[in-house]
Structure 1
Amino acid sequence: MITSQTLRQDYDQPRKCFVVGPIGDPHAEHGSPEREAYEHHLGIFEQVIAPACEKYGISAVRADGIAHAGDINEQICRHVVESDLVVADVSGGNPNVMYELGLRHITGKPTIHIGEAGQLPFDIASIRTIRYQRKRSHLAEARKEIESALEAGLRDGFELLTPARVLRGLQTGDGMAYASEVGDGGKEEDEDAPGLLDDFAVIEGGLDEMAADMEAITKTVETIGTLTEQSGTEMLDLTQANASMSARLAAVARYAKTISTPAGELNTVAAVFAERMTTMDAGVRAALGLIEMTPPDERGEGVEEFLEQLMSLDEAAQEGLAQISSFGTSAGDLVRVSRHLRKPVKEISAAVKQLTSAITRMREWADKARALAHSATA
């Protein structure tokens, strides 16, 4: 049976673990959400993560424990990339945590995921995550699970997700065990495992698909808009002619029938677009983090094109969202006109909801891309 003592003898080099997770605000007012978040996650660090690491001679540190002076964002990125091990608390899907986690994944180094039960974000729900509850007994169990994961990793090598798996929907395949700097250095990497250029190619391909989705969405919105305009003209003619209510209702029913198909298509494409966004998010954030850490004069030729691709996609997405949101608002009023419109309007509203969430993330990509492009020319 392997013990902490034998592990320390076999691996006597200093071991470092960087803990990624929500920090909260220690200076916030007592009882405030920020202060409660600080106290909760500090407790997880002190009662669960740090003791588990210490058992195997691994030194754990959080971002607020970095002692060196300097730019904190740069220091965090370097700790995320360079540390032997990262333990990531993904509770609540904090955007900064997900960005740092994506950056870590692209390094191919050992990472252990933990999270509060019921608080795991959807986009990493398929990754094995040690779950904890706030009760003391449950925290003890979580610490033991981390210890078991460390023991197995130090003994056999850590089995890691590659960035390609993240980009392709976080689906586990025939998983490969990567030799880690923390553990067994005797294993060789799978010759077929994707490298960084392969991963960036996957990202670019995914962005091309998202651009195609956005184009399809825009065309469908234009079709619905044209049909709506035609229906409006017909209804105006009927009103001016003092047509009967039955005649007007028949016109509304025809309109509802004509937009049913494009409304369904819109919802379907919006769902695909949102799913691609979830699949791509961690990889794109990791790529942006890698670019940020690379001096502008050392970036490859494709970086500028990649950043431009993100910005162009965002512009198209914002325009498309503005169109569909405007129509979705007016379409909501149409439901009160006739029951015939309920189904197509429901489809359109669902599409608006999915696109709004996805495009919000895309705006974050584009903002980062613009900042990086500006820094390269400044």
Structure 2
Amino acid sequence: MNTSQRLRQDPDQPQRCFVVGPIGDPHAAPDSPEREVYEHNLGIFEQVIVPACKKYGMSAVRADSITHAGDINEQICRYVVESDLVVADVSGGNPNVMYELGLRHITGKPTIHIGEAGQLPFDIASIRTIRYQRTRSHLAGARKEIESALEAGLRDGFELLTPARVLRALQTDDDSVSVSEAGNGAKAEDEDSPGLLDDFAVIEDGVGEMTADMEAIKKTIETIARLTEQSNAVMLHLAQAKAPMSARLASVARYSETLSAPAEELHTVAATFAGRMVSLDSGVRAALGLIEMAPPDGRGEGAEEFLEQLMSLDEAAQDGLAQIGSFGASAGAMARMSRHLRKPVKEISAAVKHMISAITRMGEWAAKARELAAGATA
């Protein structure tokens, strides 16, 4: 008996695979982007995922094939959490897919990632992902890779991803009781395993570091604004004095030289800020998903403080977003003044992009936190 036959006959092996990915709209116009997304992902489902799962006796289900009556969002959450296996197509970093994937990660249950080559989000670049291209040979290869991943996982066990720690932290107090307290020889919780407050503290530390990054960014922007104001005053004086262009160019060169250090610092801090966002995103979304699943009176210690912290962080970020956006627009105008300014302006523009992307994602955290906080007081 070969490995696949043995695995299929084992009653303890996974039976249901839930497929997470963009769905699209089957009723959209034939040439519309929504219809293209539907046709493409249906093809991946039918030609790649279904046959791979079938080889090991599993049925594959997509969200649009759930036939039970009820709230579709609740049903999807349950499928994501309860299914024996999840295959997630992360192509394009669809926000709904990433949210569902974060929720799945913390369960510690088997998850396989696939994605179209060139369309993989940076957020999960460190996680092994089966890549495919839109050709028959590449799709066949992706199917075989999924089959190989399934066989190895079913035989040797699936890799436990880091966010699974959050779920283990939400175990009840009975799960962490010592052997002596249990009185029945039950295995005690390892002394070094994190509890709920430990996990919230890790996220809290990361959020605190992001707050410090934002303060450093604010101070650097203020420095750049002061230097710019001083340069503008000098340029105005030179223009009124009808100074030659060579004198004005020399002034711009001096301004560029003084601008280089703070512009580089701004880029560095903004990149660090965005990096923290990426590293925290999966854990924060997973924690929000678990809080959402728990009844308001059973969320556990630290949950409400966690929601408050996310909302406060977003408020501080939104205060500076308008300033950052206008600053980025003025940087473009500065670059047209002289080639001397192109390097510092490039640093500033890159920093602005990092910040806007990170703050947008932070807003998604806060929106969910506000929704959960409002539900607790309703």
SS at match of 1:57: coil
Which residue is 1:186 aligned to? none
Between the aligned partners of 1:135 and 1:252, the Cα distance in structure 2 is 54
Between the aligned partners of 2:98 and 2:92, the Cα distance in structure 1 is 10
User: How much has 1:341 moved relative to structure 2?
Assistant: 2.0
Tell me which amino acid in the other structure corresponds to 2:300. G
Relative distance call for 1:340 and 1:131 in structure 2 (3 A) is: closer
Identity among equivalent positions (%) equals 82
5+ unaligned residues in a row in structure 2: which ranges?
167-188
SS at match of 1:17: strand
Between the aligned partners of 1:118 and 1:241, the Cα distance in structure 2 is 55
Between the aligned partners of 2:112 and 2:200, the Cα distance in structure 1 is 24
Which residue is 2:80 aligned to? 80
Tell me which amino acid in the other structure corresponds to 1:370. R
The answer to whether residue 351 in structure 2 is matched with residue 359 in structure 1 is no
Relative distance call for 1:300 and 1:72 in structure 2 (3 A) is: same
Which residue is 1:185 aligned to? none
Between the aligned partners of 2:160 and 2:2, the Cα distance in structure 1 is 22
The answer to whether residue 136 in structure 2 is matched with residue 136 in structure 1 is yes
Are 1:106 and 1:196, in contact at CA under 8 Å, matched by a contact in 2? no
Relative distance call for 1:253 and 1:274 in structure 2 (3 A) is: same
Between the aligned partners of 2:13 and 2:110, the Cα distance in structure 1 is 17
SS at match of 2:367: helix
Between the aligned partners of 1:131 and 1:330, the Cα distance in structure 2 is 40
Relative distance call for 1:133 and 1:191 in structure 2 (3 A) is: farther
User: How much has 1:195 moved relative to structure 2?
Assistant: 5.8
Relative distance call for 1:56 and 1:233 in structure 2 (3 A) is: same
Which residue is 1:171 aligned to? none
SS at match of 1:87: strand
Between the aligned partners of 1:109 and 1:195, the Cα distance in structure 2 is 19
The answer to whether residue 165 in structure 2 is matched with residue 153 in structure 1 is no
Tell me which amino acid in the other structure corresponds to 2:326. S
Which residue is 1:68 aligned to? 68
Which residue is 1:55 aligned to? 55
Tell me which amino acid in the other structure corresponds to 1:258. T
Tell me which amino acid in the other structure corresponds to 2:335. V
Relative distance call for 1:126 and 1:13 in structure 2 (3 A) is: closer
The answer to whether residue 266 in structure 2 is matched with residue 272 in structure 1 is no
**Partner deviation per Cα, 1:227-284 (whole Å, 9 max, x = no partner):** 2222333333444444444443333333222222111100111111111112222221
The answer to whether residue 22 in structure 2 is matched with residue 19 in structure 1 is no
Relative distance call for 1:308 and 1:124 in structure 2 (3 A) is: same
User: How much has 1:13 moved relative to structure 2?
Assistant: 7.1
Which residue is 1:231 aligned to? 231
Which residue is 1:305 aligned to? 305
Between the aligned partners of 1:233 and 1:358, the Cα distance in structure 2 is 34
Between the aligned partners of 2:94 and 2:368, the Cα distance in structure 1 is 17
User: How much has 1:319 moved relative to structure 2?
Assistant: 2.5
Which residue is 2:99 aligned to? 99
Between the aligned partners of 1:190 and 1:127, the Cα distance in structure 2 is 27
Are 1:90 and 1:115, in contact at CA under 8 Å, matched by a contact in 2? yes
SS at match of 1:60: strand
SS at match of 2:107: coil
Between the aligned partners of 2:278 and 2:214, the Cα distance in structure 1 is 15
**Partner deviation per Cα, 1:101-143 (whole Å, 9 max, x = no partner):** 1111111111111112222212212211122222223222222
User: How much has 1:335 moved relative to structure 2?
Assistant: 2.5
Are 1:111 and 1:160, in contact at CA under 8 Å, matched by a contact in 2? no
Are 1:252 and 1:340, in contact at CA under 8 Å, matched by a contact in 2? yes
Which residue is 1:183 aligned to? none
Between the aligned partners of 2:58 and 2:195, the Cα distance in structure 1 is 28
Structure 2 length-normalised TM: 0.87
Which residue is 2:172 aligned to? none
Tell me which amino acid in the other structure corresponds to 1:342. R
5+ unaligned residues in a row in structure 1: which ranges?
167-188
Between the aligned partners of 2:314 and 2:71, the Cα distance in structure 1 is 29
Tell me which amino acid in the other structure corresponds to 1:376. A
SS at match of 1:337: coil
Tell me which amino acid in the other structure corresponds to 1:337. M
The answer to whether residue 199 in structure 2 is matched with residue 204 in structure 1 is no
Between the aligned partners of 1:214 and 1:74, the Cα distance in structure 2 is 36
Are 2:324 and 2:352, in contact at CA under 8 Å, matched by a contact in 1? yes
Are 1:8 and 1:57, in contact at CA under 8 Å, matched by a contact in 2? yes
Relative distance call for 1:225 and 1:141 in structure 2 (3 A) is: same
Which residue is 1:254 aligned to? 254
Are 1:231 and 1:251, in contact at CA under 8 Å, matched by a contact in 2? yes
Between the aligned partners of 1:5 and 1:40, the Cα distance in structure 2 is 31
Between the aligned partners of 1:110 and 1:197, the Cα distance in structure 2 is 26
Tell me which amino acid in the other structure corresponds to 1:39. E
Are 2:200 and 2:306, in contact at CA under 8 Å, matched by a contact in 1? no
Tell me which amino acid in the other structure corresponds to 2:83. S
User: How much has 1:212 moved relative to structure 2?
Assistant: 0.9
Between the aligned partners of 1:26 and 1:266, the Cα distance in structure 2 is 46
How many pairs are equivalent? 357
Relative distance call for 1:197 and 1:203 in structure 2 (3 A) is: same
Between the aligned partners of 2:223 and 2:348, the Cα distance in structure 1 is 13
Which residue is 1:123 aligned to? 123
User: How much has 1:314 moved relative to structure 2?
Assistant: 1.6
Relative distance call for 1:239 and 1:269 in structure 2 (3 A) is: same
SS at match of 1:162: coil
RMSD: 2.4
